[in-house]
Amino acid sequence: MMAYLRDCKRIVVKVGTSTLTHSTGHLNLRRIQSLVKVISDMKNSGIEMVLVSSGAVSAGVAKSGYGHIPSTPEEKQALSSIGQSELMKLYDQFFSVYGHTVAQILMTKDVLDNPVRRAAAENTFDRLLAMHCIPIVNENDAISTDELTKFGGNDILSAYIAKVCHADLLINMSDVDGLYDSDPRKNPSAKLITKVDGITDELYSIAGGAGTDRGTGGMIAKLNAAKIVNDCGIPMFIINGQDPEILYVLLDGGHIGTYFKADKSLREKRENE
């Protein structure tokens, strides 16, 4: 048994829309509360935590009484604007129960493409974590409109945030148990791949398929995220977020989901540049 979190001082956890919502599209408050409890416990253990959270659009749907899941970019941007404050209000309420302070960071891709703005983002994360806050990150959907500003989903956003934060690990909480050798929704005999030593074309070929209708990230996006962080020496887990307390398995030294191993020397090289 490997203690994956033993040497981790800073972890980024990404949670997707399908994890945070019911099938109706409304927020799953019990699951969010459970997630907050576990992240608070991980922080209490001495780990600096950063949360990349979807769910703003769903929160906007619930808050506004919108009658259906939005399909156009304009609908999504408007509802995200309504829902982001509602989502942060919930996180603030839930985390405050455990004595933790949260901070909202809304990102666009061009921030990280600009060296000066990227450095400012790095400094902000470092300062917030030094102040014992839990940064909660989402894409700034209201103004992300094209390939220059959009990350293309929070799977990719979380990978870039892990790089910016110089995280020791990225945990991607999904609606599946991990990466399988075929689509488990179509093939009951599909086998979970517990460890990946490198992202290959073969992995991409077996990872086809989109996400749920409540989210944007399928397995291809998660592989892309794993490649981004692995290339700079940061490992990643894909785990099922249906029960957030599954994170305790990792905290206790166990293995769950799919682990994407990274070469630590790549990270050391990057940090010394």
Q: Do residues 176 and 216 touch, judged by C-beta distance below 8 A?
A: no
pLDDT digits (tens, 9 = 90+) for 73-91: 889 899 999 999 999 999 9
- Token pair 């014992």 is at which residue? 132
pLDDT digits (tens, 9 = 90+) for 178-190: 999 888 878 889 8
pLDDT at 246 over 50: yes
pLDDT digits (tens, 9 = 90+) for 128-139: 999 999 999 999
pLDDT at 1: 41
How far lies 188's CA from each of 62, 213, 239, 265, in Å? 35, 21, 18, 39
Terminal Cα-to-Cα distance of the chain (whole angstroms): 34
What type of residue sits at position 175? Answer: D
Strand 236-240, strand 258-260: pairing: antiparallel
**pLDDT category, 268, cuts 50, 70, 90?**
low
pLDDT at 214: 40
Question: What is the distance between the alpha carbons of residues 242 and 15, in angstroms, rounded to a whole number?
Answer: 10
**pLDDT category, 176, cuts 50, 70, 90?**
confident
Nearest by Cα to 50 from 124, 134, 119: 134
pLDDT digits (tens, 9 = 90+) for 51-60: 999 999 889 9
Q: Do residues 11 and 49 touch, judged by C-beta distance below 8 A?
A: yes
Question: What is the distance between the alpha carbons of residues 271 and 138, in angstroms, rounded to a whole number?
Answer: 25
Question: What is the distance between the alpha carbons of residues 267 and 273, in angstroms, rounded to a whole number?
Answer: 10
Question: What is the distance between the alpha carbons of residues 270 and 25, in angstroms, rounded to a whole number?
Answer: 41
CA angle 164, 58, 217 (to 5 degrees): 50
pLDDT at 186: 83
Ordered domains of the chain (ranges, CATH): 10-272 (3.40.1160.10)
pTM > 0.85: yes or no: yes
pLDDT at 151: 78
Range in 72-76, 126-130, 210-214 the model is least confident about: 210-214
**pLDDT category, 204, cuts 50, 70, 90?**
confident
pLDDT at 168 over 60: yes
DSSP secondary-structure letter at 180?
A: B
How far lies 226's CA from each of 108, 153, 171, 265, in Å? 20, 14, 10, 17
